[in-house]
Chains A and B, each alone.
Chain A
Amino acid sequence: MAIVFEKTKGLTDKETHYCPGCTHGIIHRLVAEVLEELDVLGNAIGVAPVGCSVLAYDYFNVDMHEASHGRAPAVATGIKRAMPNNVVFTYQGDGDLASIGTAEIVHVAHRGEKITTIFVNNAIYGMTGGQMAPTTLIGQKATTCQDGRSKAHSGMPLRVSEMLATIDGAAFVERVSVHNPVEIRKAKKAIKKAFECQIKGEGFSIVEVLSTCPTNWGIAPTESLKWLEANMIPYYPLGNFRTPEEA
């Protein structure tokens, strides 16, 4: 018998601090596997800003920067401009990227920075305790919208991939999910394409990954997978929004 699946060298041996069933762990692994398969682990520099994934520097087996809330794309810009031959990525949540970091994500795309962003959208602020995010769905309860988000008060949830796909410098934009093995395989393919886009120098690439937050959603992990499929995908459709050919 041969080993057909084992932990990638792209991750350290450190056990993650993520809650049981949180899909951050899956997404970390996919990114690390892609970096290993592209043989760029020794050449990669990652940036993880404030949020649940703030400790990602303990988990990715590559050089890492911790960044302030929302600023990872700016930090990554500084890194990439100084180290144009390195593979540079940011790993950001939705509170970070879609709220406090909107200027930075828009302009990293606007400049067509040759970096890759992994955008983990779980429709809530995780680390700070389940507050409403710009991505929180209408009717979804959060600790700062305890009766559920209302359009009248907070507007409609922000669709980041669709927005970024309108920017010329964004060469690759795709939304994927990790709620079942089929989608996880697709997610990995998209992440690989995004990094290949960077390596080829085609422009900014981003993969939005729909993710769960069982703890703050208040749903069991296995039920969270179903909730994501039933509620998030209808509003955040999966698929590619932009390829280098269109850019």
Chain B
Amino acid sequence: MAKVLMKGNEAIGAAAIQAGCKYFFGYPITPQNELPEYMSKELPKNDGVFVQAESEVAAINMVYGAAGCGVRVMTSSSSPGIALKQEGITYIAGAELPCVIVNIVRGGPGLGGIQPAQSDYFQSTRGGGNGDYKLLVLAPANLQEMVDMVQEAFDMADYYRNPVMVVGDGMIGQMMEPIEFRTPVKRELPSKEGWATTGTKGNRKPHIINSLFLDPQGLEDHNIRLQKKYKTMKENEARYEAYNMENAEIVLAAYGTTSRICKNAIDKLKEEGINIGLIRPQTLWPFPEKAFQEIPETVKAALTVEMSEGQMIDDVRLALNGKIPTEFYGRSGGMIPTPDAIIDKIKEMLGGLK
């Protein structure tokens, strides 16, 4: 298939439709509006339905309803909107329903701003809503990866009966890049017939979509079962890209847009004869711990770079478990780290190391 030039937010919509997404429930919020707009125009042409809900809270509950019927369904929002959706997301996770949620992250806290940020790392990977649950969280760094991940996200959601969140930032949502639509790696997807609410047709017991377990033992058993599922996800789905790790003195940890800036910094330093590596988590949950546990002996320190005041650094530290010193550089509020600023920080660290 030929490459097409698309804007990030629209490319997400196109990828979702390619993946068989028929239903989209959303609510306007900057900087992700092109996505629902695209879906409102394109879904009806593809036997699908777009509904603009009265709120993010309603939108995610519409997703819960549709997902319970076994259809491929999606919603998108940006940080404060995702915060509103957390109630529905924990219900969806608790009831084990598949769906895809896109978060085009903007700066916070509160209303924050509308510029790109990565300050929803905690909101995405720590549950966000109540209870012990996990989302699969995918973090693309370019539009090709974004459309690949969005398509695969639907398969992953069906495979695990779990919500999948795709985390981009305003930069990825707004930029244009050439992309091609490829078919994701085939997974054996389980049938939804055993649980989807489609009407009993009078020939089976009612199906119930539910996250309520009043019996404490029943709820604990449910949790143990969920944790088993999360363990399988952890074993199978953690992904990362390793960049320039050979003989690296320092390893950077960055995802999404920030990882691209880090690569610029690494390439520049390489010209100066300084070897810096990068571990770029492609999945924020499960976090690619192994990548950090297997860093080469040459690496003397780690630097986490984020468009936040430091969130992913917690996972980097947990993964490194004190093995090497771990520092942080970040900008927030919509400010973007520059390659030069990252280089300065690296040089400062190298000075300390020597």
Contact = CB atoms under 8 A, between A and B. Distances in A.
Query: In their complex, do chains A and B touch, with some C-beta pair under 8 Å?
Result: yes
B74 to A, nearest CB: 12
Nearest to A111: B51
Contact of B200 (A41, A68, A107, A111): A41
A172 interface: no
Interface stretch (B205-213, B277-285, B310-318): B205-213
A71 B58 contact: yes
Contacts of A103: 54-55, 57-58
Contact of A67 (B22, B64, B197, B199): B64
Contacts of B68: 65, 75, 78-79
A67 B207 CA distance: 14
B20 interface: no
Contacts of B63: 78
Given A66-B212, A79-B69, A81-B23, A86 B64 contact: no
Interface string A53-86: 0110100111111111001001111111111001
A63 B57 contact: no
Contacts of A129: none
A111 B62 CA distance: 13
Interface string B46-65: 00010101110111011111
Nearest to B64: A75
A133 interface: no
B201 interface: yes
B43 to A, nearest CB: 11
B199 A42 contact: yes
A45 interface: yes
B197 A65 contact: yes
Given A74-B57, A103-B54, A81 B49 contact: yes
B197 A74 contact: no
A152 B61 CA distance: 35
A44 to B, nearest CB: 6
Interface in A31-65: 41-45, 47, 54-55, 57, 60-65
A86 B211 CA distance: 23
Contacts of A57: 206, 208, 210
A64 B71 CA distance: 16
Contact of A66 (B49, B66, B203, B210): B210
B71 A82 contact: yes
Contacts of B202: 41-42
A133 to B, nearest CB: 20
B194 to A, nearest CB: 12
B133 interface: no
B51 A63 contact: no
Given A74-B62, A78-B73, A68 B206 contact: no
A67 to B, nearest CB: 7
Contacts of A41: 200, 202
Interface string A92-114: 00000000000110110011000
Interface string A164-203: 0000000000000000000000000000000000000000
Contacts of B71: 82
Contacts of B154: none
A107 B198 contact: no
A128 to B, nearest CB: 14
Contacts of A81: 23, 49, 51, 62, 66
A61 B63 CA distance: 24
B88 interface: yes
Given A68-B88, A78-B65, A63 B58 contact: no
B88 A71 contact: yes
A63 B23 contact: no
A107 B87 CA distance: 19
Q: Most A CB atoms within 10 A — which of B87, B199, B209?
A: B199
Contacts of A77: 25, 51, 53, 58, 62, 65
Contacts of B207: 63-64
Contacts of A76: 65
B91 interface: yes
B23 A104 contact: no
Contact of B206 (A55, A63, A71): A63
A42 B200 contact: yes
Given A57-B208, A71-B57, A103-B54, A86 B65 contact: no
Contacts of B69: 45, 78-79, 82-83
A111 B55 CA distance: 13
A60 B45 CA distance: 37
Contacts of A61: 200, 206
A207 B65 CA distance: 22
A60 B199 contact: no
A104 B54 CA distance: 7
Interface of B: 22-23, 25, 49, 51, 53-55, 57-59, 61-69, 71, 73, 87-88, 91, 95, 197-203, 206-212
22 contacts: A45-B197, A61-B200, A63-B208, A64-B206, A64-B209, A65-B197, A74-B58, A74-B62, A75-B65, A75-B68, A77-B51, A78-B25, A78-B64, A78-B65, A78-B68, A81-B49, A82-B69, A83-B69, A83-B198, A86-B198, A103-B55, A107-B54
